Amino acid sequence: MIDVKAVRADFPILERKVNGRPLVYLDSGATSQKPRQVIEAVARFYREHNANVHRGLYQLAAEATDLYEEARAKVARFIGAAPEEIVFTHGTTEALNLAAYSLGELLVGEGDEVVVTAMEHHANLIPWQQLARRKGARLVPVGVTPEGELDLGELAEAISDRTKVVAAVHVSNVLGTINPVPEIAELAHKVGAVVVVDAAQSVPHLPVSVRELGADLLAFSGHKMLGPTGIGVLWGRKELLEKLPPFLTGGEMIREVWLDRATWNDVPYKFEAGTPPVAQAVGLGAAVDYLSSLGMEEVRRHDLELTARTLEGLLERDYVTVYGPTEPEARGGVVAFNLRGIHPHDVATLLDQEGIAIRAGHHCAQPLHRLLGIPASCRVSFYVYNTPEEVDTFLSALDRVWEALG
């Protein structure tokens, strides 16, 4: 069991007051807060080891390179991968754009198909839209059941011999739905399609083994898992990474360059053009250490406790509509909802006056909101530093919002 009191002591920002009230931060799905251990790891790098990596022969450069590659190894262990399968990017969005561009150059041609789900974040939808437009391919969307789960029957029908890529989110950032990636991968691999997973909401919150998931490429961000902004990861099967062409070109990703041609470096460096986000990678390594010390099974258990408490409280209020599965075990630590007749922005504004930070909007998932028949929603999302008492504070404040505006 996570000692939440001890964990909270590691997060300086939680000592803040907002509008005269203790901060209740319920927006970790957008970005997580950072513990002192991560903040200090980044500061220490800049104080003591700052240099460019892989190039210098002097001691600082060697130290920076060692720390950077040590962070890669930590991330690899965290998701059950090999270090050479970990490509550092600037975030999930860049990682998914890399996947879409490179797969498009390798696999996708005119008349081919890319299957996506209706619950995708824009970062795992627009790159595939652009790929389809560029290559003359067809984008095939798969719907969601009334319970907020991926329609697996529709998915099976959508996948055909023309399917080259199936792109799916692991945990929806709106519905909270945990999608069955192994089943998705099995269906896709039967026709030889590549499976790309947006794991931005799952790797920070669930025990994830890329081998068990069965995906081919998987992307996530550091800033949603206690790490710094500006660092992300694309994991890929080594044999696939070796076949994919680079997304960005320039220094670092080359082996030899002539005026009229160039050859590429080995993976993962082939995909890491230019000066990488070294300090951010070091910070991500520290975040991985922190989460590993807590244990991802315990992180998941803590999320479940808070999600169950939130769902129970919301579902018993007749003025609230909850979106997504009603069983806590079927979702991650994300709950989207609306108050009858009240715009989400008004809800978020009144909650902020009580020091409670939630998300309001379409959460970069406009097609899903259109499917739900709403322009926007409120969203609360949890992490290791949240408490059951904060859930109760939020629910009580929601009642006051309803009394004021309902």
- Classify burial at 78, counting beta carbons within 10 Å of its beta carbon; exposed 0-12, middle 13-18, buried 19 or more: buried
Mean pLDDT of the chain: 97
Confidence band of 204 (pLDDT split at 50, 70, 90): very high
- Quick check: 406 pLDDT over 90? no
Same-domain check for residues 104 and 239: yes
The pLDDT of residue 310: 98
Would you call 364 a catalytic residue per the annotation?
yes
Same-domain check for residues 319 and 256: no
The predicted-structure confidence for 18-38, as pLDDT tens digits, reads as follows 999 999 999 999 999 999 999
The predicted-structure confidence for 279-316, as pLDDT tens digits, reads as follows 999 999 999 999 999 999 999 999 999 999 999 999 99
The pLDDT of residue 405: 92
The predicted-structure confidence for 156-176, as pLDDT tens digits, reads as follows 999 999 999 999 999 999 999
The predicted-structure confidence for 331-383, as pLDDT tens digits, reads as follows 999 999 999 999 999 999 999 999 999 999 999 999 999 999 999 999 999 99
The pLDDT of residue 55: 80
Same-domain check for residues 104 and 189: yes
Same-domain check for residues 228 and 313: no
CATH number for 383: 3.90.1150.10
- Classify burial at 104, counting beta carbons within 10 Å of its beta carbon; exposed 0-12, middle 13-18, buried 19 or more: buried
The pLDDT of residue 39: 98
Confidence band of 271 (pLDDT split at 50, 70, 90): very high
Same-domain check for residues 113 and 156: yes
Separation of first and last alpha carbons in the chain = 39
34 assigned to some structural domain: no
Selected catalytic residue, list 364, 367, 387, 388:
364
What whole-number distance in Å separates Cα of residue 292 and Cα of residue 288?
Answer: 6
The pLDDT of residue 62: 95
Same-domain check for residues 284 and 317: no
Q: What does DSSP say about strands 138-142 and 113-117: parallel, antiparallel, or unpaired?
A: parallel
153 assigned to some structural domain: yes
32 assigned to some structural domain: no
398 assigned to some structural domain: yes
The pLDDT of residue 360: 98
Same-domain check for residues 146 and 259: yes
The fraction of the chain above a pLDDT of 70, given in percent, is: 100
* Whether this model's pTM surpasses 0.95: yes
The pLDDT of residue 56: 81
> What's the domain count of the chain?
2
Q: Quote the domain boundaries for residue 209.
A: 39-292
Same-domain check for residues 124 and 251: yes
Give the pLDDT mean for 172-182.
98
The pLDDT of residue 402: 98
